[in-house]
Amino acid sequence: MASILQYLVYGLQLGSVYALLALGYTMVYGIVRMLNVAHGDFLMIGAFGTYFISKLFTNMVVDGTYPVIAVVAIILIAMVLTGSIAVAVEAIAYRPLRNKPRMIALITAVGVSMFLENFPRALPFIGPNPRSFPTLFITEHFTVAGASVTNVQIIMIVFAIVTMTALYLVVNRTKIGSQMRAVSMDRDAALLMGVNVNQVISITFFVGGALAAVSGICYASAYPQVDVYMGSWLGNMSFVAAVLGGIGDIRGAMLGGFILGIAQILATAVNSTFGYAVGFIILIVILLVKPAGIMGKTTIEKV
Amino acid sequence: MSMLEVRDLHVSYGAIHAVQGVSFDLNEGETVALIGSNGAGKSTILRTISGLEHAKSGSIKFQGSELTKMKAHKIVELGIAHVPEGRRVFPGMTVRENLLMGANLVKDKEKIRLTLEHVFEIFPRLKEREKQPAGTLSGGEQQMLALGRALMTDGSLLMLDEPSMGLAPIVVEDIFRVIKKINEAGTSILLIEQNAFLALQTADRAYVLETGKISMHGDAKDLLKDPRVKEAYLGA
């Protein structure tokens, strides 16, 4: 029983990484109907960004760790940096192709992903070797009903849930949120309502990039190593999470992320080589049984 | 001075030269109709005025501002409301959310409230369905919503693209009665219709388009009696 609970804690932790990343995937898909295959690489940029930004704050280190104010600053700077890179990627690589067939944008995204992974790899100060991620939080262990829980895990899971709730409320209750929904439903009609579509798409990419950075920080805090390819498979898994939940749906991304995280940890517990495969087994099953995903519904629309 | 002044407008989609040197005017308070068969370039003209398509050459002036180089969302700000072909309501939003989307650029909350009340007065059906997703409305109701949403933008020129398309005759009558009312209340209207009879009955003046060019224009009443128009568009 205790071990099941323990797996659940690990699952939720990994799930919050997937969920935060899947949110960006799903929002971008919702608004431009495009699979941004390079989305996972934003996670890597966020993690590497944090690595370098934290170097700038080394003189604030006390007892091998950073004061809270420095941690908050590091995270915020990494979020803004990654969000800005995501905006730039959209403006440079995707915007010129927006009215072309979707396959062209998809292939471009694959190219962007390769660039984002291999360009830093060629830079002398980044390179191909993994770096160890700085300790941003002092880990404290608690024992809850026989399962070991750390403060870092609690912070991550709570932060993921709060972020997703906030995002859900922004999309459904605010002006920028309704503009986003309008663009996602009918871009031309949104233009005719005076919506600045380019700006709305940029904001969406910014939010997606910033969340990917948080996701990268969460992941690297749990598995303290960063390398240029880390975003690739995490991106694949979060894509599965987004499809599982129903791509385009924010609650779905969150649900899919947590389900996938828990499933992967449980599968790894059974057989350590099985963890990554379970994601794709879930993907195949969901595509066969309910292609629109858990939250996705077939839209009824009279013409 | 005319409110809208289109001069020698050319628009192409790739190799297709859809609009070939069209010029026309619309004066403040008028209803002007563009009639013509399918593919004559009517919708393209409206989409170019709104900034959804780009002109190859020529000019479009609205109250003195040149529109051809302007972004679509800026054009709405100047006061041009466009009800696109096929209604294009936001299917996943409720009727109310759709209408409020129309007021996207209106800052004054009180004004939004009053316009919303006004729209509900014109279309009581929309009030009944206020909380219903727009995708579940009937075609006629969607057309009312598209019109209401355009009214919410608080524009001074309303452009309508085929408001009668796919609707039952009785609903079409209703819609055109409302269009006349909107015009009487001071909004200028640029109307596109395949149903030439209906368009000529509603409009003050009309232009006839044939394969991207204007072939005739004049008072709607005169065109209604013109033998060439009768033969080509009125089926008489």
* Averaged pLDDT of chain A: 90
Residue A183, min C-alpha distance to chain B (Å): 9
- Quick one: pLDDT at residue B19? 93
CB–CB of A299 and B135 under 8 A?
yes
Residues B24 and B6 sit within 8 Å (Cβ to Cβ): yes
* Least confident window among A4-8, A272-276, B170-174, B192-196: A272-276
Residue A175, min C-alpha distance to chain B (Å): 8
Nearest CA in chain B to A196: B73
Q: Which residues on A lie below 8 Å from B101 (Cβ)?
A: 178, 182, 190, 193
Nearest CA in chain A to B75: A194
Q: Which residues on B lie below 8 Å from A292 (Cβ)?
A: none
- Quick one: pLDDT at residue B39? 80
Strand partners, B210: B213
DSSP string over B19-51: EEEEEEEE-TT-EEEEE--TTSSHHHHHHHHTT
Nearest CA in chain B to A190: B101
Nearest CA in chain B to A193: B102
- Quick one: pLDDT at residue A155? 87
Q: Is the pLDDT of residue A299 over 60?
A: no
Using beta carbons and an 8 Å cutoff, which residues of B are at the interface with A? 50-52, 71-73, 76-77, 81-82, 84, 86, 88-93, 97, 100-102, 104-105, 135-139, 142, 149-150, 153
Residue B75, min C-alpha distance to chain A (Å): 8
- Quick one: pLDDT at residue A126? 87
- Mutate which of B53, B101, B132, B153 to test chain A, going by most A C-beta atoms within 10 A? B101
Q: Is A302 on the interface with B (CB under 8 A)?
A: yes
- CB within 8 Å of A128: residues ≥ 6 apart: A121, A227, A228
- Quick one: pLDDT at residue A66? 83
In this prediction, residues A55-82 reach a mean pLDDT of 87
Would strands B16-26 and B4-13 be described as parallel, antiparallel, or unpaired? antiparallel
Q: In A, residues 164-183, which contact B (CB 8 Å cutoff)?
A: 175, 178-179, 181-182
Q: Is the pLDDT of residue A41 over 50?
A: yes
Residue B40, min C-alpha distance to chain A (Å): 21
Q: What is the ipTM of this complex?
A: 0.93
Who among A182, A192, A302 is closest to B137 (CB)?
A: A302
- Quick one: pLDDT at residue B235? 67
* Least confident window among A108-117, A264-273, B180-189: A264-273
Q: Is A114 on the interface with B (CB under 8 A)?
A: no
Report d(CA B233, CA A282) in Å as an integer: 59
Q: With a cut of 50, which residues of chain B have pLDDT below it?
A: none
Residues A177 and B99 sit within 8 Å (Cβ to Cβ): no
pTM for this entry: 0.91
Residues B158 and B81 sit within 8 Å (Cβ to Cβ): yes
Q: Which residue ranges make up each domain of chain B?
A: 4-233
- Quick one: pLDDT at residue A276? 83
Q: Which residues on B lie below 8 Å from A190 (Cβ)?
A: 101
- Token digits of residue B64: 């003195």
Nearest CA in chain A to B86: A303
Q: Which CATH architecture describes the domain B4-233? A: 3-Layer(aba) Sandwich (3.40)
Q: Is the pLDDT of residue A301 over 50?
A: no
Q: Can you list the alpha helix ranges (DSSP code H) found in chain A? A: 2-32, 39-56, 68-89, 102-122, 151-173, 175-185, 187-192, 197-222, 230-245, 250-270, 275-289
Q: Which residues on A lie below 8 Å from B97 (Cβ)?
A: 178
* Least confident window among A86-95, A165-174, B226-235: B226-235
Q: Which residue ranges make up each domain of chain A?
A: 21-230
- Quick one: pLDDT at residue B236? 54
